[in-house]
Structure 1
Amino acid sequence: MTYTGEVTVGGPPDTREAGDLQITKIAVGPMANNAYLLRCALTGEQVLIDAADEAPRLLELIGDGGLARVVTTHRHGDHWQALSAVVEATGAETVAGEDDADELPVPVDVRVRTGARVRVGSCELEVIEIVGHTPGSIVLAYDDPDGITHLFTGDSLFPGGVGRTWSPDDFIRLVNDVETKIFDRFDDDTWFYPGHGDDSTLGAERASVPDWRARGW
């Protein structure tokens, strides 16, 4: 079946193949958060992005393949309600942005900044710090050697706009980072996977960036 990225709380996950990386998206409640299980097709190693909630469903998704690490995109509680349970059940290494790590409910084994790499077996994710939604939010980029780039954007970028901010200064930081570190760097066919809701491509959103900036926070 064709991947759409349109998942609902309580509904089935959706999976796509991105070269050697398999991406499975699932929505968990009660705040309709997206979690992403990444699996290397060559080694079987698995990494979870945002153990947001509903630990039993996430553990069922992980299955018997084990979990090498959990990456948390930012400090907000709706993105880590299941983190303690998932780590306890799997022994997974924890990864988070340096400036959000102290706000998580478990010790963070690997604190990352821009340019760091997160392994998923033979595949590699690049860390990009995007400041504004929180001080330590991160985006993860997977560049499929035989395909397109895939971005896991947390709550920094959604279809239709950047994430929520709580001051004009934070909004300016966020929209600047999104424009310079994401839109100015990656091609239109780049697919992004947000922390809530449907996916999109940079090409579908690019023309609206000036409107987002003018709209303000």
Structure 2
Amino acid sequence: MKIVTIPVGLLDTNCYLVYVESSRRLYVIDPGADAPEIVRAARRFDFRRASILLTHAHVDHISAVAEVAAALQVDGVFLAEEDHELYRSPDNALLPYLEAARNLPEAAVFAPNDDFTVIPLPGHTPGGSGFLFRESPALFAGDTIFAGSIGRTDFPGGDFGTIIDSIRNGILTLPDELTIYPGHGSQTTVGAERRSNPYIQ
């Protein structure tokens, strides 16, 4: 499995390209901005099918969805049902910096898949999700947890108690050596966060 990290947009949102060689499938996780750069990097892979996976629906994680989906002819945009309303909301913006995303294709719920498991991680948003890939174990956790920190819960739909439960019951149950790829900032491991993240001690 090959992983490419592309920080995009004003907030340096991590867009990830995950290429699973055994299935020749490409997953674009959280295309939040800079669609041409994402598409150029994606076309370096010899993929048969491409999909977009969204860890949650905040605007800085979805603004390039329409352009990337069209350019790569993806077979779907997948997002937890609890975030579908936010995905479509005209209020999903960070004005004056980020306007609401436009021309978004329909989002579907996650279908059973041999390449990854979906781990529900509500708290930052109601539909926050993590993707645990099997071929070369890695967790893409969105804005639930960062290296030494956690996602904000002061936005509409956020809840501090819920995000802590998600981390403790959805992430810290995983092996210490598992690499976590967050929505912003550098990668970390389950063990590092278990030992030193001040929010979950």
TM-score band w.r.t. shorter chain: 0.7 to 0.9
Uncovered stretches (5+) of structure 2, i.e. residues with no partner: 89-103
Relative to the length of structure 2, the TM-score reads 0.82
Uncovered stretches (5+) of structure 1, i.e. residues with no partner: 1-20
Q: Which residue of 1 aligns with 2:85?
A: 102
Distance 1:126 1:108, change over 3 A: farther
Q: Which residue of 2 aligns with 1:203?
A: 191
- AA at the equivalent of 1:56: P
Aligned residues: 181
Superposed displacement of residue 32, structure 1? 0.6
Q: Distance in 1 between matches of 2:199 and 2:107?
A: 36
- Aligned residue runs from structure 1 range 9-48, under 5 A: 21-48=1-28
Identity %: 30
Q: Distance in 2 between matches of 1:60 and 1:139?
A: 25
Superposed displacement of residue 108, structure 1? 3.4
Which contiguous aligned blocks of 4+ residues in structure 1 show a shift greater than 3 angstroms? 64-67, 116-119
Answer with 21-30 or 38-47: which moved more: 38-47
- Find 1:172's aligned residue among 158, 161, 172: 161
Distance 1:131 1:109, change over 3 A: closer
1:75 aligns with 2:57: yes
Aligned-residue RMSD, C-alpha: 2.1
- Aligned residue runs from structure 1 range 1-217, under 5 A: 21-63=1-43, 65=46, 68-92=50-74, 93-104=76-87, 106-112=104-110, 117-118=112-113, 124-144=115-135, 149-166=137-154, 170-183=159-172, 185-209=173-197, 211-213=198-200
Superposed displacement of residue 71, structure 1? 0.6
- AA at the equivalent of 1:101: H
Q: Distance in 1 between matches of 2:192 and 2:8?
A: 26
Relative to the length of structure 1, the TM-score reads 0.76
Superposed displacement of residue 213, structure 1? 4.4
